Amino acid sequence: MWLDQTSAIYGNGSPTTGSYGLADHLDEAVSQGADLIQVVIYNLPGRDCAALASNGQLAPNEINRYKTEYIDEIVDIMSDPAYADLRIVNVIEIDSLPNLITNVSPRETATDTCDTMLANGGYVDGVSYAAAELGALPNTYNYIDAGHHGWIGWGDDNPEYDNFRASAALFGSLIGQNGMTADDVHGFISNTANYSVLEEPYWDVDQNVGGQALNQNPDLPWVDWNDYNNEKDFTEALRTELIANGFNSDIGMLIDTSRNGWGGSYRPTGPSTSNDPVTFVDESRIDQRIQKGNWCNQAGAGLGERPQVQPEPWIDAYVWIKPPGESDGSSELIDNDEGKGFDEMCDPTYGGNPRNGNNLSGARGDMPVSGHWSSEQFQELLQNAWPPIN
């Protein structure tokens, strides 16, 4: 369940959470004999500072309300002895900390809200507090959001362009804040509510095409010097970097595979035979987005791998955190009482910004406010599922 507003803790009847509150869901899990439940902690002040579609209700300076009215209340409910036999997996604050690396000044992609959240320390304060308080419970397993390879996959000797190591160092800086220890963090999650593929079977970023390695080609916008082209390789490398920054050697990774299948008629069946690097990559890649920075209601996407436990030694599980069929944001401005704005990246006619290389958004049209249901999108995800659905 997504706790995307304080009122969702108690069951507010909203389209995103319904009438069940946290205790209701936990009670239902117990009554069904389940041994695990997944909860998304998602209500930071100044939430999702680079995407208006998923802004929240808490203002950038309301960290105390976040702690006392939101996290403390969640901890109080989860600590009930009735739930002691439930393993509670908490996904903590998606689309937060990586923004403090990639979308702050002096970068061209900076936003005022991200600059504010970096300056006031609200994201670091909130995430560390949530992890520490939830981590004190014996049956909780905390996974902090770590973006995805198309967001923080860039490493560089110049710190100004090194998203990868800078992000890992930022995550490491949480240790010691608000009493958070490495033991409070079971792992990290990538690709939450995003579309990045698990693997690209037909090409590698360091592959030589046309006389040059693809990740060293300045004229290849899909790669754009990124060290990774898939979530498997990215999470394996990020885990190593996180351990080097103070996290326990047994941390695991989760990958959200709910919408990264990219099946359908456009899915390639083998590598391109072209010697032109751009053509080779475009004809070989599974990920069919126009650009990796496109995140809103991507047309052509499909359901991904079904949830499974430990598909790789460093991956604790493939999970479906984003419910397939729930919108990422409205295609146009829609009034709502959830604090969610209109982000042009959800408009299919939008020509882009520096965060997506000034490309078209690739979004579907006629979509509702984020978290609301779209039958049309769900049907497309079914049609383009990979592995296919019989």
What is residue 262's predicted lDDT score, i.e. its pLDDT?
Answer: 98
Q: Would you say residue 270 lies in a domain?
A: no
Residue 216 lies in a domain: no
219 is catalytic: no
User: Domain for residue 232, yes or no?
Assistant: yes
- Residue 388 CB-half CA count within 13 A: 6
d(CA 389, CA 384): 9
Tell me, what CATH number does 43's domain have? 3.20.20.40
Per the structure, the complete domain to which residue 312 belongs is given by 2-204+226-261+287-383
Residue 147's nearest CA partner among 223, 220, 60, 254 is 254
Burial class (CB in 10 A: 0-12, 13-18, 19+), 282: middle
Any domain includes 63: yes
**Residue 112 annotated among the catalytic residues of the structure:** no
Residue 38: which of 94, 81, 97, 96 has the closest Cα? 94
Task: Assess if residue 388 is contained within a domain.
Answer: no
Give the pLDDT score at 328.
Answer: 95
In a domain, 128, yes or no: yes
Q: Is residue 110 part of a domain?
A: yes
For 265-304, what is each residue's pLDDT tens digit?
Answer: 999 999 999 999 999 999 999 999 999 999 999 999 999 9
Number of domains present in the structure of the chain: 1
Check residue 278 and give its pLDDT.
96
Q: Which of 4, 48, 95, 227 is catalytic?
A: 95
Q: Per the domain annotation, does 185 fall within a domain? A: yes
Strands, E assignment, the chain: 2-3, 36-41, 87-92, 140-145, 187-190, 208-209, 212-213, 252-256, 308-312, 315-319
pLDDT at residue number 19: 87
How confident is the model at residue 381, as a pLDDT? 98
- Given 145, 233, 316, 328, the catalytic residue: 328
Q: What percent of the chain has pLDDT over 90?
A: 93
pLDDT at 307: 98
Q: Which residues of the chain have pLDDT under 70?
A: 16
Output the pLDDT for position 249. 98
